[in-house]
Amino acid sequence: MEFIDVEKRFGDNVVLQDLNFSVAPGERVTLIGPSGSGKTTILRLIMTLESLTDGYICVHGRPLTHEKRGDKRVALPKKQVRSNTKRIGMVFQHFNLFPNMTVAENIIEAPIHVLGMSKADALEKARALLKRVGLADKENEHPTKLSGGQQQRVAIARALAMDPEVLLLDEVTSALDPELVDDVLGVLREIAETTDITMLIVTHEMQFARDVSQRVMMFSDGQIIEDGPPDEIFTRPQHERTAKFLSAVL
Ligand code: ADP
């Protein structure tokens, strides 16, 4: 994945400017940095929940929403953008499950409507995923009947049901009671160990970041101020702002 000269403004507020970085296929990268430094915005741009105000994002070699033609920056047709985002999954802080659907219905929705899977195949896959996230017996429950940790594991299963090439995790444990955090992180660790999904992770769980990611990027005011293996960043931060941030969260 490449961010090329990315700019994102909300009105006059320039959140990201001249942002350039690449993430290799299969790489797992944790984004850290103070609140307001632009981490969530980066994930939302990749998910196309926000639109770029300038620059380009490519995912696995394909331009996501805009491409360069000669000197021009051209927006891609909506249909192409939708197709480009099919294999990008996101798990949110607040789960964002459909409350009026059962757990299984939440998971099979996109595979049926976006990938054109048969209901039987989608359901079979959903059951296997529910087993994988430790919720085999919850297929017919409504999300509101589940704990936050269980809802989050359903959200992870829902993202995996689309066979994502890229998985975006936005503070997925921040809204959970402390005793539920480990179950969710355990599921994510298993996914990290057993798949080659590219993962971009925004989290304050530094031990988790250390365990699953090969790389940590530290953001400050929309810029990457440090970028390296977790062991280096966490034990020998080069930048004063990184050291200060880490001493506050560790
Ligand atoms: P982080 O995830 O690092 O806490 P965010 O990406 O959430 O940072 O926010 C970065 C900046 O963008 C903040 O100044 C925030 O107020 C602003 N911002 C984020 N989303 C919106 C929005 N939808 N409308 C206006 N400003 C926004």
Q: List pLDDT tens digits, range 103-136.
A: 999 999 999 999 999 999 999 999 999 999 999 9
* pLDDT for res 250: 77
Residue linked to tokens 């001493």 = 247
Which of the listed residues 40, 44, 201 should we mutate to test ligand 1's pocket, taking the one with most ligand atoms within 8 A of CB?
A: 40
* pLDDT for res 150: 96
CB of 162 within 8 A of CB of 114? yes
Ligand 1 midpoint to CA 120 (Å): 41
* pLDDT for res 202: 97
Cβ atoms within 10 Å, residue 165: 17
Is residue 60 very low, low, confident or very high in pLDDT (cuts 50, 70, 90)? confident
Mean pLDDT of the 42-56 span: 97
Per-residue model confidence as pLDDT tens digits over 154-180? 999 999 999 999 999 999 999 999 999
Residues with CB under 6 A from ligand 1: 10, 13, 15, 33, 35-41
Ligand 1 midpoint to CA 8 (Å): 10
Percent of the chain residues topping a pLDDT of 70: 100
Strand partners, 219: 224
The answer, yes or no, to whether ipTM is higher than 0.90 is yes
Indicate yes or no: pTM above 0.80.
yes
Nearest CA to ligand 1 atom 24: 10
Nearest CA to ligand 1 atom 7: 40
